[in-house]
């Protein structure tokens, strides 16, 4: 009996020793180490990455920006790829650019192996929401757990490998991007880019993606279980036949390697797995 009790105590101590330390996340830009779990304590609104600067010519902005700072969302579709914004005082002449010496705002920067718990809160406005790049991006591993949401990011979650559960993504250009992923109980709404981007494949369970340009994109295959990928520009784009179990989509596309551009893929035909294929 004493040996049994000792074994339980030792196992409990090992479990405690192996658990990750909680780190309160209260502001934009905090760093989470690989042995930590960053836990949001409140809703976080990050400052914008881009600011309005008066235009001194058709190509170059002035060296000074407006004071106080006016943040903006760039539209770079104009002539010379110049980035303007209707949020600037003079939308036709002002530029929407990074400030001098500025960098893209990161909401939470996580070392490979670190974790983030949204804890019922929202992370908003960061150019990169929650990211783990480490020394080599494809080796980084990131876990994000809800409930909670990420909104208003260029890329909401990104790492080499990601696991995301019980989270909502709204109004992000690209929501979840990684070489491979597992997501569950995730809702993605809106975005002019990608919902789920996983070149090496992945699996989504009880997941909804709508309003993106590309719902799911993989240069291999992708598994959908109890999920709905519908109402996107193209719902499912894969280079190998996607696997659907109790899941629905409107449109699919076969990705075919471009012989003239190695590493590039072009959509050709469909997989006959979605309602409108």
Query: For the residues 172-184, what does the mean pLDDT come to?
Result: 95
What was the pLDDT predicted at 58? 62
pLDDT digit string, tens, across residues 254-275 = 999 988 888 889 999 999 999 9
Please state, in angstroms and rounded to a whole number, the distance separating the CA atoms of residues 264 and 266: 7
The pTM assigned to this predicted structure is: 0.83
What was the pLDDT predicted at 249? 98
Q: Is the peptide bond before 57 cis (omega within 30 degrees of 0)?
A: no
Please state, in angstroms and rounded to a whole number, the distance separating the CA atoms of residues 136 and 104: 19
Among 53-57, 75-79, 88-92, 93-97, name the one with the lowest average pLDDT: 75-79
DSSP symbol at 208: E
Query: For the residues 180-188, what does the mean pLDDT come to?
Result: 97
Domains annotated on the chain, with CATH? 20-46+105-267 (2.160.20), 50-102 (no CATH)
What was the pLDDT predicted at 2? 42
What was the pLDDT predicted at 235? 98
Confidence band (pLDDT; 50, 70, 90) for 276?
very high
What was the pLDDT predicted at 122? 98
At residue 10, does pLDDT exceed 50?
no
What was the pLDDT predicted at 13? 36
Tell me how far the alpha carbon of residue 144 is from its chain's centroid: 11
**Per-residue tokens: 133:** 């790049």
Q: Which residues contact 202 (CB under 8 A, 6 or more apart)?
A: 178, 180, 181, 182, 183, 196, 218, 222, 223
What was the pLDDT predicted at 73? 84
Confidence band (pLDDT; 50, 70, 90) for 11?
very low
pLDDT digit string, tens, across residues 36-87 = 999 999 999 998 888 999 987 766 667 778 889 898 888 877 666 678 899 9
**Per-residue tokens: 108:** 């939470």
* Average pLDDT along the chain: 88
Among 1-15, 45-59, 205-219, name the one with the lowest average pLDDT: 1-15
What was the pLDDT predicted at 177? 95
What was the pLDDT predicted at 16? 37
Torsion sign across C-alpha atoms 251, 257, 260, 262: positive
Confidence band (pLDDT; 50, 70, 90) for 9?
very low
**Per-residue tokens: 57:** 């010519």
């Amino acid at each position: 009996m004493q040996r049994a009790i000792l074994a339980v105590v030792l196992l409990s101590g090992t479990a405690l020793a192996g658990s990750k330390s909680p780190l309160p996340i209260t502001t934009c830009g905090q760093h989470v180490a690989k042995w930590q779990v960053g836990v949001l304590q409140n809703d976080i609104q990050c400052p914008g990455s881009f600011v309005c600067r008066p235009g001194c010519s058709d190509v170059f902005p002035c060296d000074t920006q407006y004071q106080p700072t006016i943040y903006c969302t760039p539209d770079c579709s104009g002539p010379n790829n110049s980035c303007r914004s209707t949020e600037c005082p003079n939308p036709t002449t002002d530029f929407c650019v990074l400030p001098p010496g500025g960098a893209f705002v990161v909401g939470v920067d996580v070392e490979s192996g670190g974790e983030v718990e949204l804890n019922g809160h929202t992370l908003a406005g960061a150019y990169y929401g929650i990211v783990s790049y480490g020394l080599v991006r494809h080796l980084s591993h990131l876990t994000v757990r809800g409930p909670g949401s990420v909104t208003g990011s260029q890329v909401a979650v990104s790492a080499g490998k990601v696991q995301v559960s019980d989270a909502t993504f709204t109004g992000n250009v690209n929501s979840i991007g990684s070489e491979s992923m597992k997501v569950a109980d995730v809702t993605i709404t809106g975005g002019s880019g990608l919902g789920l981007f996983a070149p090496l494949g992945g699996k989504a369970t009880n997941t909804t993606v709508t309003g993106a340009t590309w719902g799911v994109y993989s240069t291999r295959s992708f598994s959908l279980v109890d999920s709905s990928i519908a109402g996107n520009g193209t719902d499912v784009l894969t280079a190998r036949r996607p696997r659907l179990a109790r899941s629905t989509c409107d449109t699919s596309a076969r990705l075919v390697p471009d012989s003239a551009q190695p590493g590039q893929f072009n959509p050709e035909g469909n997989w006959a797995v979605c309602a409108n294929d």
